[in-house]
Amino acid sequence: MAVEERDGHSGYLTTGHEWNGIKELNTPVPRLVYLTLAVTALFAVGYWILMPAFPLGSTFTKGLLGADDRTAVTAAVKQAQTDRARWTDLIAAKSYDDIQGDPRLMAQVRATGAVLFGDNCAACHQRDARGGNGFPNLTTQSWLWGGTPEAIAETIRVGVNAAHPNTRVSQMPAFGRDGVLKRDEMENVVAYVMSLSAPPAGKVSADRIAAGKAVFTANCAACHGPEGRGNLELGAPNLTDSHWIYGSDATALYAGVWGGLQNQMPSWEGRLSALDRKILVLYILDRRGP
């Protein structure tokens, strides 16, 4: 073994070994290392005594504080509910009208509703609640199932074509796929439906619209009403306004008539509390435009 030597720069002895030119100093471990080791170990031991820490066969040490994440979070959520009660109780108790007339409560509805809506509803109805791609715009006066607070609350509670036992059920038949109507009949009725909300574009003949009207009366009026103003009982939309769920062009309308429509709105009863749902109703009504 080589002899220990002293490093000129630091003044420490080497261990006397050399590996491919590398030597080591035998510098003592700085105090600070032991000190921090002791401090962190002390912290650890203290933590182990206070908290659940070590396994013992079929159980574990529970810790002096008896802390448990699950009870803690349940308590925190409860506490938060209690803290919110000063305004949530008012929302729960008051009528829709009263709340809408109370700017302070409405400010709270807006703050809360935006996030509830963002995390649960925006996936379908978009962050601005304007829908699209087959999902209704919730900011219009045009409602499928009614625009009263109670009707909206019910839609949210049970959903449409959802898994809830009392779900609202709606279906527009597939006139084309099921062979009820022929191609030209469907084209005519589409032309007629388009004429209900907008003056017919130049090319479309009056004959065609008249023919379409006949088809409509025979096949569609049952749901959409004789004038096409819709039916809130069946969730059949009003076809005379300018709001469209699936698009306003002839192709989109034809596709609906041909293949039928049966979209789904989930039921939120099992997922959101009655309070949250009430806030959502108020939030939607608040966003409603002309």
Partner 1 sequence: MFGLHYKLERKSIGLALAIIGIGSIGGLVEIAPLFTIDQTVEDAPGMRVYTPLELAGRNIYVREGCYACHSQMIRTLRDEVERYGPYSLAVESKYDHPMLWGSKRTGPDLARIGGKYSDQWHVAHFVNPREIVPPSVMPSYARLLRNPLRTDDLGRHLRAMRAVGVPYTDDMIANATADAIGQATPGGEAADGVSKRYGEATNVRVFDGLPGELTEMDALVAYLQIVGRLTDAAYKTAGK
Partner 2 sequence: MVAQLTKSERQVALVILLALTIVGLIFAGAGKDDPIGVHGFLIMACAIAAIFAVISASAEPEPSPERLDTYYDDPSKIGIVLAMAWAAVGMLVGFWVALLLAFPDLTFDAGWASFGRLRPVHTSGVIFGFGGNALIATSFYVMQRTSRARLPDQLSPLFVLFGYNLFCLLAATGYLMGITQSKEYAEPEWYADIWLVIVWVTYLVLYLRTLARRQEPHIYVANWYYLAFVLVVAMLHIVNNLAVPVGLGSAKSYSLFSGVQDAMTQWWYGHNAVAFFLTAGFLGMMYYYLPKRAGRPLFSYRMSIISFWGITFLYMWAGSHHLHYTALPQWVQTLGMTFSVMLLVPSWSAAANALLTLNGAWHKVRDDATLRFMMVAAVFYGLTTFEGSFLAIRPVNALSHYTDWTVGHVHAGALGWVAMITFGAIYASVPWLWKRDAMYSARLVEVHFWFAVTGTIIYVISMWNSGIIQGLMWRTYTPEGTLAYSFVDSLIEMHPYYIARAIGGLFFLIGTLVGCYNIWMTVRGEALPAATEPAGDIPAPAIAARQPAE
Geometric angle at alpha carbon 170, from 168 and 174, rounded to 5°: 165
61 near partner 2 (CB under 8 A): yes
Binding mask 2-41 for partner 2 (x = CB under 8 A): -----x-xx---xx-x-xxxxxxxxxxxx--x--xx--xx
How many CB atoms sit inside 10 A of residue 158's CB?
A: 21
Geometric angle at alpha carbon 117, from 264 and 78, rounded to 5°: 115
Minimal distance in Å, beta carbon 88 to ligand HEC?
A: 17
194 near ligand HEC (CB under 6 A): no
Contacts of 286 (CB under 8 A, 6+ apart): 100, 106, 109, 110, 113
Question: CA-to-CA distance for 55 and 61, rounded, in angstroms?
Answer: 6
| Cross-strand bridge partners of residue 55 | 60
47 near partner 2 (CB under 8 A): yes
Do residues 254 and 190 lie in contact, with contact meaning Cβ atoms separated by under 8 Å?
A: yes
> Which lies closer to partner 1 via its Cβ, residue 155 or residue 195?
155
Q: 186 is written with which tokens?
A: 């469907």
274 near partner 2 (CB under 8 A): no
Do residues 246 and 252 lie in contact, with contact meaning Cβ atoms separated by under 8 Å?
A: yes
Using the contact rule CB under 6 A, the part of the chain among 22-30, 81-89, 93-101, 152-160 near ligand HEC is 152-160
Q: 236 is written with which tokens?
A: 């059949």
60 near partner 1 (CB under 8 A): yes
123 near ligand HEC (CB under 6 A): yes
Question: CA-to-CA distance for 117 and 48, rounded, in angstroms?
Answer: 43
Contact positions vs partner 2 (CB under 8 A): 1, 7, 9-10, 14-15, 17, 19-30, 33, 36-37, 40-41, 43-44, 47-48, 51-55, 60-61, 63, 67-69, 80, 83-84, 87, 108, 111-112, 114-119, 122, 127
Contact positions vs ligand HEC (CB under 6 A): 120-121, 123-125, 135-136, 138, 143-145, 152, 155-156, 160, 170-173, 175, 189, 193, 216, 219-220, 222-224, 234-237, 239, 244-246, 253, 256-257, 261-266, 268, 280, 284
